Copies of this chain bind each other. A is one copy, B any other.
Amino acid sequence: MKKTIIDVARELNLSPSTISKIVNNTGRISPQTRERVLKYVKESGYVAMSNARKLSSKKSWTIGVIYSDISLVGFEHPFFSRILQSFKNHVESMGYDIVLIVSKLGNNELTYLEWCRNKKVDGILIVMGNINNPNIIEVVASDYPCVSTDIVMPNLHSIISDDAQGIKLGIEFAIKKGLKRISVVSGPLTVRSFNTRVQTFREEMTRRNLKYNEKDIHFTVGFAYEDGYRIGLEIGKKKDNIPDIVLTFSDVLAFGLIRGLEDSGLRIPDDVSVIGYDDIDFARHYTPALTTIAQDTEEIGLRAAKALLLSINEKQEKTQKIALVPVRLVERETTKK
């Protein structure tokens, strides 16, 4: 059976509290006993039972993760799941567990915050969320350490990709290749990153004195392949006015777009160049391999972990901080050489 701290204490002729202090590195203990205990603990493989520990101490060594309001998006989401993966690797190496927050506990519906209090999580990571969700708002407004890799809100620390840079990279690339007529395919503007990118597109085009038409900025209703496909067909129709290159704001959308373009008789990249966004695995597996703006999910997850751990350990006042992680353009086959 499992050893308890009492067993260890008895076998060492010490009191449980002494063991506890040593294991947790708290209080003053003589070097001799410390060493003796540490040695024994190591040999016997004693580990404090987590529930008891959590009950008695304040820390839970657990981080709550809000992965998606709309639980439609599963783990397999190629972008967010990579961020989570990276985050997880890092916090685990620091001894923290991850637990996905659901608004349901047994038979009770709980708000995220209630759920977190109940589980006594130490901090909260919002991998993706909706800024209008009261549950999210409540969490961010609470005194819980929070970090987000998606949304931006007052009093929230966000680690996100540099969306403006991505668009500038895209435009710069187009110009360098001599592709003058630039179109855009964006997802819904309710998503911050899409919004930023569209804004930046307008600004940058203007700043560079490049002509563009508002009609060249297309919006999809959703995030799916089919949404991109629809736009592809649409663009394909205006035979007289085909863009040289289209900047698409997600790889999945880009795949759909390309197929739509192809089904309209256009060849990629000979007739139209296409740039995606995200650089998910399939971007390089697609035929033709997709030129895309790569987001550094590894770095985002890592920095989110560091930021959250930091604010857990030295509770600072909550302020809005936004850390921008650089993106880069990966040239493949969907753009003209």
- Tell me the bound Cα distance from A281 to B225 in angstroms: 10
Q: Is the CB of B102 within 8 A of A99?
A: no
Does A47 lie within 8 Å of B2, measured CB to CB?
no
Partner of A106, one of B47, B106, B285: B47
Query: In A57-109, which residues have CB < 8 Å from any B CB?
Result: 60-61, 71, 74-78, 81-82, 84-85, 88-89, 92-93, 95, 97-100, 102, 104-108
CB-defined interface of A99-131 with B at 8 Å, one 1/0 digit per residue? 110101111101000100111100000000000
**A277 at the binding interface (Cβ < 8 Å):** no
In the complex with contacts A2-B117, A82-B76, A105-B47 CB distance below 8 A: yes
How close is A75's CB to chain B, nearest CB, in angstroms? 4
Q: Decide if A105 touches B95 in the complex (CB within 8 Å).
A: yes
Q: Which of B89, B114, B256 is close to A285, meaning CB atoms less than 8 Å apart?
A: B256
Pairwise interchain contact B286-A287, C-beta atoms closer than 8 A: yes
Residues of B within 8 A of A82 (CB): 74-76
- Minimum distance in angstroms from A269 CB to a CB of chain B: 14
Q: How far is the CB of A302 from the nearest CB of chain B, in Å?
A: 14
A81 CB contacts on chain B under 8 angstroms: 74-76, 81
| Chain B contacts for A52, CB-based, 8 A | 55
- Asked if A118 and B85 sit within 8 Å, CB to CB, the answer is no
CA distance A98 to B102 in the complex (A): 11
Tell me if B75 and A84 are in contact (CB < 8 A): yes
Enumerate A264-291 residues with CB–CB distance to B below 8 Å. Answer: 281-282, 284-287
Taken together as a complex, chains A and B put the C-alpha atoms of A255 and B119 apart, in Å, by 44
Q: How far is the CA of A147 from the CA of B88 in the complex (A)?
A: 24
Q: Are B95 and A106 in contact (CB under 8 A)?
A: yes
Contact A110 B75, beta carbon cutoff 8 Å: no
For A2, list chain B residues within 8 Å (CB): 117-118
Q: Within the assembled complex, what's the spacing in Å between the Cα atoms of A127 and B321?
A: 38
CB A139 to nearest CB in B, in angstroms, measures: 15
Write the nearest CB–CB distance from A233 to chain B, whole angstroms.
Answer: 15
Please tell me if A331 contacts chain B, counting CB pairs below 8 Å.
no
- Encoded as 1 (CB less than 8 Å from any B CB) or 0, chain A from 37 to 64 comes to 0000000010101111011000011000
Look across to chain B and name the residue whose beta carbon is closest to the beta carbon of A117.
Answer: B2
A95, B107: Cβ atoms closer than 8 Å: yes
Q: Is A262 an interface residue (CB 8 A)?
A: yes
CA of A284 to CA of B226, assembled, Å: 11
Contact of A76 among B47, B76, B100 (CB under 8 A): B76
CB atoms of A47 and B99 under 8 A apart: no
Q: Are B76 and A85 in contact (CB under 8 A)?
A: yes
A-B contact pairs, 11 of them (CB 8 A): A47-B105, A51-B51, A51-B120, A55-B55, A71-B89, A74-B82, A75-B75, A76-B81, A95-B106, A225-B284, A286-B287
- Given contact pairs A75-B75, A81-B81, enumerate 14 new A-B contacts (beta carbons under 8 Å): A47-B108, A51-B54, A51-B60, A51-B120, A61-B106, A75-B76, A76-B85, A88-B100, A93-B104, A95-B104, A255-B282, A255-B285, A286-B287, A287-B287
